[in-house]
Amino acid sequence: MYDERINKTERGQLARTPIFVGALIMKNLDVQIVKLEPMRVATVLGFGPSPEEEAWAKLNAWVGPKGFRDRPEQHRIFGFNNPDPSPGSPNYGYELWIEVGPDVEPEGDVRIQDFTGGLYAVARCEVPKGKYEVIGKIWKQLATWREDSKYKPGHHQWLEEAVQFESPALEFVLDLYIPIAE
């Protein structure tokens, strides 16, 4: 048995999708429709069998002295595979973005770019310690939600936003952004 919750998105569309992991229902997938505005971002790239760790190490080394992590509401952090994993290779890339102001300049491995924004369906992904496979499963559920919705696939970047949280049971929390178009 599970708690079936119904949430309304900004546009009033019902968003109720159970998430299945094997035979167990984890929770309902609450989907929100979000328009990300254009933003300026600093970007770093990791590549290899664990590119997320490499990208986070680069980002943390750069943002630490600047105090950006002290103001998470002004410096949102997004990530995505770049390039995607390839069959037969353990290596792939992961790119991290942190929102920055107009006064920030590139330095070292850190590049600056402008993101044009876009319309997204967004779902929260709570990752228990060591259970990274949950991320892929929730991405699949979100993609299925989009296929069954009135929205078309968008052509802008898929994103994972790092979310601040406090729970000893969780390793981290992401908001998953799948691009949509009306």
In tens, the pLDDT along 5-31 reads: 333 334 333 344 444 333 333 457 899
**Phi/psi of residue 173, each to 5°?**
-130, 135
* Rounded Cα gap, residues 133 and 141, in angstroms: 13
Quick one: pLDDT at residue 27?
52
In tens, the pLDDT along 119-173 reads: 999 999 999 998 999 999 999 999 999 999 999 999 999 999 999 888 888 999 9
Q: For the chain, what is the radius of gyration of the CA atoms?
A: 17
In tens, the pLDDT along 28-70 reads: 789 999 999 999 999 999 999 999 999 999 999 999 999 998 8
| This prediction's pTM | 0.82
In the chain, the percentage of residues whose pLDDT exceeds 90 is 76
* pLDDT greater than 90 at residue 109: yes
Contact (Cβ atoms closer than 8 angstroms) between residue 178 and residue 17: no
Quick one: pLDDT at residue 159?
98
Q: Which domains does the chain have, with CATH numbers?
A: 7-35+120-181 (no CATH), 39-115 (3.20.80.10)
